[in-house]
Structure 1
Amino acid sequence: MSAARPLAGRRVAVTRAREQASELAGKLIALGAEAIELPLIQVLKEIDQPTLADAFLELGRYDWIVFTSANGVRFFFEEFHRLFDDIRALGLVRFACVGEATARAIAGQHLRVECQPKIATAEALADELIATGSLDNAKVLVITGNLNRDQLTKKLEAARAIVDRLQVYKTEKTDLSREPAAADFRAHGADAILFASSSAVQSFADQAAALTLAPDARRPLAGSIGPQTSETMKQVGMPIDFVAKTPSLDALVEALVQRLRK
């Protein structure tokens, strides 16, 4: 094991959705690991059409549009570009988001993020928005998925914002019973398994029988990206061996490296 490749010879299971797994897998491979993709969840477009219609009628009147994930950015702008051929239809709205991946997705639309907390949580984003002093009677559109908690909306409303919540995607469990990667995981195990969402944890727990390890397979250490994911791990009785210092993929990988050095 070298300083440049601290994960050389290690097998690490990645539990993100198939279309998102490559980012984390790439970080692990760059450090020498063998990344095993176990797509425990899938993200599908599911638009709340009545709310979308209302929001797009009022689009130029919003003060803020808030995104909590890159998935939200992708599906929102798919609908926007389908219905509008001029970016100026957005008016003078400002954009706020959680996380670097979400910020990059917004930048990919040639738009600037004006509010992004250092800590990548919805609660931190609410605090950052409140700190701008711009929320009193402001119209805010929050783009969400089906599993997003409503703490963000509640905090913004408590700060006197007028909040509309628009669901544009849903997260579902993926059946891994016939996945070749799942068979590989059952047979050989891994040195670690990384969870970046509560939904992946719940899916893993629901499919425990299909993911039961062979007697001689490696028993993986379980890593969590942050407090919400850790809480779900506790609820399903899963041990937590390490937690990212901040809720980001880079911090999760760093926590893994530090734990395996012990």
Structure 2
Amino acid sequence: MTAPRNYAARLSQQLINQGGLPFLMPTIETCLLENFTELDAALQHINTFDWIAFTSRNGIDAFFQRIEDLGLNLLLLTICRFCAIGLDAERLAALGIKVDLLPKEPSPAGIIAELAKIPDIAKKSVLVPVPEFVDLPEPDVIPSFIAGLEKLGMKVTRVPTYRTRCLDKNIYEVELNLIRQGNIDVIAFSSTAEIAGFLQMVNSKRDYEHCVIGCFGPYTAANAQKLGLKVSIVAQDYSSFAGFADAIALWAAPFGSIANGGA
């Protein structure tokens, strides 16, 4: 599993529930911004936005942490409407925030499809909290999301909210050797950034040629293929990690159980 640790814990439990043996090897980590200028400017004028569209739980956590650090009143958010994806809506609810738009398809494209149904959405202003990528290429998901919102006629403000960076491969000597030796059955990617980070840690395709590649949904799978990976497992239900674990278990069923190997 290459997901950041805050996500990996949830995916790990789902795999264990299916009888799997998860190995954690986060290829990326999220951390605080070094420069909060853009985020702070947006937060100081938060009541000027009609919508706030979150694409990740990390974005939600970093956004509200900064609000707390600045001592801003959450009542300033009452004028805004909120978009979230999948179980991220539960995180907003826990923070006391009502989710106004939860798309049937748990993806940024799903948000665009639902917003497109709102008659007066053109000219509405939307704030999009996004990660700042360090030593990693920005996945096309975010630029595509911004372009889709702009195509609806919305006034889009994207604002860096947290940093995503690649971890040092030297901390994973054991895990990378397990992969090279063919002792890992499945490499489970939950985002494009994880794939980019992983590819920086290996020397060539030979390092992972014995592994089956699994992806958390069609968008991650499409980007994995663009990056040269052969994808064999794609979660059809990508609203939660339970769907990803189900997809891996379904792949493993002919072999008896995913408990026979690692993930």
Q: TM-score range with shorter-chain normalisation?
A: 0.7 to 0.9
Paired residue type of 1:253: A
2:228 to 237, 243, 246: 237
Aligned counterparts of 1:108 and 1:258: Cα–Cα separation in 2: 33
Q: Across the two proteins, how many residue pairs are aligned to each other?
A: 245
Q: How does 1:86-125 map to 2 (within 5 A)?
A: 86-100=73-87, 102-125=88-111
Segments of 5+ residues of structure 1 without an aligned counterpart are 1-13
The answer to whether structure 1 residue 177 and structure 2 residue 164 are counterparts is no
Where do 1:4-83 residues align within 5 Å? 14-46=1-33, 49-83=36-70
> For residues 120-163 of structure 1, what are the alpha-carbon distances to aligned partners after superposition, in whole Å with 9 as ceiling and x for unaligned?
11111111122133422212111111335222222222222211
Whole-angstrom distance in 1 between the partners of 2:205 and 2:25: 10
Q: Which residue pairs with 1:194 in the alignment?
A: 188
Decide which moves more: 49-58 or 107-116: 49-58
Amino acid across the alignment from 1:141? L
Which residue pairs with 1:9 in the alignment? none
Higher helix share: 2
CA contact (8 A) 1:182 1:211 kept: no
Identity %: 24
Question: What is the TM-score when the length of structure 1 is the normalising length?
Answer: 0.84
Aligned to 1:37, what secondary structure does the other structure show?
coil
Alignment of 1:96-175 (within 5 A): 96-100=83-87, 102-146=88-132, 147=138, 149-175=142-168
- RMSD of aligned residue pairs (Cα, Å): 2.3
How far off is 1:174 after superposition? 1.2
Alpha-carbon deviations, 1:166-211, whole Å to 9, x = none?
Answer: 1111221112323344444445622212111111112222211399
Conservation of the 8 A alpha-carbon contact between 1:117 and 1:128: yes
Among 247, 251, 254, the alignment partner of 1:255 is 247
Deviation string, structure 1 residues 87-135 (Cα, Å, up to 9, x no partner) = 11223211101221x2122112111111011211111111112213342
Deviation per residue, 1:43-67 (Å, 9 max, x gap): 1222663322331232112111110
Report how far residue 69 of structure 1 moved. 0.1
